[in-house]
Amino acid sequence: MIDIKNERNLTMLTDFYELTMANGYLHKGMQDRQVVFDMFFRRIPDGGGYAIVAGLEQLMQYLDNLQFSEEDIAFLRSKNTFSEEFLDYLRRFKFICDVWAIKEGTPVYPQEPLVVVKGPVIQAQLVETMVLLSLNYQSLIATKSTRMNRVAEGRAIMEFGSRRAQSYDAAMLGARAAYIGGCTSTACVIADQYYNIPAVGTMAHSWVQLFPDEYEAFKAYAEIYPDNCTLLIDTYDALNSGIPNAIRCFNEVLLPKGFRPQGVRIDSGDIAYLSKKMRVMLDEAGFPECKIVASNSLDEYIIRDLILQDAKVDLFGVGENLITSRSEPVFGGVYKLVAVEEEDGRLAPRIKISESPEKITTPGFKKLYRLYDRKSGQAIADYITLFEEKVDDTRPLTIFDPNAVWKKKTLRNFEAVELLTPIYEKGKRVYTSPSLAEIQRYCRRELDRTWDEVKRFENPHRYYVDLSQALYTLKSSMLDESEAKIRAMIEQAKEQ
């Protein structure tokens, strides 16, 4: 598994305003004031019904190694912005926050906290960029991957996007996230080295072009890799040249050596039409086990259509549309203050209001529960409560839609599971990530516990994220108070 610290010190991967605010907190004597921040997102990519959280492992690697080097201190001093007192604070910096997070691979929904950070404001503020950076990208790619893998109906999807990723980090971490979402393998060798994701690949068109003719190219490859021979057949003419030469190669090179072909790959043309013709030709030649691999700018909609058209494709290689989530390349997670310690030690809630309802935050230090039907095992709704609240799933629970409070439902025979897991206690890591394969299996299992109506592409059923009565009352009262406060400020401004 890749260790960020052994590659480079990423402590300075932060927005400049986080440092200017931290410097200001110190000067105002507020550096130790306890606060709570929530990381959440507002909208599901691609108009989908769910997202998949990923990237927690990389966030933990960052937090484990969060320290400012003398080189960092010297650079910040050169900005002529920060006091020596602040620079000395950074020199002695030790992360002491509490952190809770939802496990990687979990289906998640808008407005619910994916990560909660509680601790001194100067520290909780400082980690904002990496909290968002770590989870936003991988959650985006893991979500996209599950969409593709669901429509593939059991056919393997290979992640082929390394060369189209936005950076080398994106190539590696995108492969990781795609695997969480269900991909079986990757073209990215370093992802195999660090994450044990099987690396696969055969040949490019350049291999075929380098030889005098197509058959010679196939023959050379089969002689070198007889036990794992997959041939790229569309360099010239897939049906009239590629498949005949592949079949000839199988008969003349592989069979005499006692091997059978693994597959053929097409990377252009009408894949549905070509695959049907190829399947017939391969079967008639005595190679029914030879798999057909398709690539060429695939996405979930093309894969779905190919299957609806009865394309004879056994495996899909997906590149740019997966590794960049090209249809919607931004996850949109945000990091907002939700509680501040008062002089009496009480954590007082904070709310951010907006003219856009979806940008209004849910105040307070909170818990998040997932409510499962005990009979079917399916997820019914998510339920956000104040931190001190506990859901008793041995008794009926009435939930309601916070955006339409008249929509109520009383649950019986349900199980309430807390989704926010302790990750750090006073800066000490208390959570160990499962293996990537275990995360993938967990993701598949949790998606199976999600209703199909939530997983459809067009007009998915809205999965309910409800607030407890106490939390709803708190939010409503704070909105009313904020409205009155704003009116007073407006009147005061007019008088001046």
* pLDDT (0 to 100) of residue 51: 98
In the structure, what pLDDT confidence band is assigned to residue 1 with cuts at 50, 70 and 90?
very low
In terms of Cβ atoms closer than 10 Å to its own Cβ (0-12, 13-18, 19+), residue 7 is exposed
Which H or E run includes 483?
A: helix 469-495
* pLDDT (0 to 100) of residue 482: 85
Pick one of 3.90.78.10, 3.20.20.70, 3.40.718.10, 3.30.300.30 as the CATH number of 142-323.
3.20.20.70
**What is the Cα gyration radius of the chain?**
27
Q: To the nearest whole number, what is the mean pLDDT of the chain?
A: 96
Give the lowest-confidence range in 8-17, 36-45, 118-127, 298-307. Answer: 8-17
**Within 13 A of 80's CA, how many CA atoms are on the CB side?**
0
* pLDDT (0 to 100) of residue 266: 97
What are residue 193's phi and psi, to 5 degrees?
-60, -45
* pLDDT (0 to 100) of residue 6: 53
CATH class entry, domain 4-141+329-484: alpha beta
Residue 5, pLDDT > 60, answer no
pTM: 0.95
Residue 489, pLDDT > 80, answer no
Mean pLDDT (whole number) for 112-118? 98
Encode pLDDT of 344-396 as tens digits: 989 999 999 988 888 999 999 999 999 999 999 999 999 999 999 999 999 99
Mean pLDDT (whole number) for 424-434? 97
Give the lowest-confidence range in 217-231, 317-331, 347-361, 453-467. Answer: 347-361
Residue type, 84: E
Residue 406, pLDDT > 90, answer yes
* pLDDT (0 to 100) of residue 358: 86
In terms of Cβ atoms closer than 10 Å to its own Cβ (0-12, 13-18, 19+), residue 396 is exposed
Domain range annotation of the chain: 4-141+329-484, 142-323
**By C-alpha distance, which of 226, 157, 232, 166 is closest to 198?**
157
